[in-house]
Amino acid sequence: MILEKAIEAIRNGRMILLFDAEDREGETDLVIPALSATPKDIARMRCDGGGLICVAIHDRAAERLGLPFMSELMRSVSMNGHKNLRSIIERKGDIPYDSRSSFSLWVNHRDTFTGITDNDRALTINRIGEAVLRVLNGEKLDFGSEFRSPGHVALLRAASGLLDERRGQTELSIQLALMAGITPSMVVCEMLDGNTGKALSKEDARTYSLVHSMPFVEGKNILESCSHSDSC
């Protein structure tokens, strides 16, 4: 029932709360489809979430758009003259809860001004969602004709095997999109606690979800559903 409510909200372009797991980041993200995000949604993420506002993208779409993992890009650059970058590229053991990050490029849409305002970020995010939809429908797209980098919206590339390979917010949110039958491009933003300086506790995130009538779903709910389905 919990998962069904979250899927229905996502299907209708509404925001939900997604908790990964106690033995992982232990964080709750505000999540909404990229195609549905409005400036008010970005403002909510900025004010009530406080973490990075990122767009998770299905691996197949990222491949067709030519979006690399940032670590791979830096590794390539470091091998072609910029040797000083080698020491800062993430290595095995750098991330205590995972083997690697999902970060790809940071972009702005070319129609934005500074790129950081709620209006600008919503525009960039909507256009990213459209780009994902277009390439997954078989259309060829020159990503650079619409976007520039560096920018203010971080792109996250999901693992090719999704939850069989990695169980971060990136893969969980994309799996939710697939379950909802929508374009697999999702905006995610961590919820932080200004009093403790840490991630917002799961209990406080649950309270927020009740106050604001937003479904709260955990990664384990998605994984349990996948274990009984051939669609994951």
Please count the other Cβ atoms lying within 10 Å of the Cβ belonging to residue 29. Answer: 29
Contact assessment for residue 87 and residue 80, using Cβ atoms and an 8 Å cutoff: no
Task: Judge whether 54 counts as a catalytic residue.
Answer: yes
- 226 burial type by CB count under 10 A (0-12 exposed, 13-18 middle, 19+ buried): middle
Active site residue 190: yes
SS3 helix, strand, coil % of the chain, rounded to 5? 45, 20, 35
Cβ count within 10 A of residue 185: 29
Give the integer Cα–Cα distance in Å for 179 and 144: 30
> Which residue out of 20, 41, 59, 108 is catalytically annotated?
108
For residue 108, indicate whether it is catalytic.
Answer: yes
Annotation says 218 is catalytic: no
Q: Out of 20, 25, 27, 29, which one is annotated catalytic?
A: 29
User: Which of 20, 27, 171, 190 is labelled catalytic?
Assistant: 190
Residue 44, Cβ neighbours under 10 Å: how many? 18
Q: To 5 degrees, how large is the angle CA 176–CA 126–CA 21? A: 30
* Catalytic residue numbers, as ranges: 29, 54, 97, 108, 152, 190
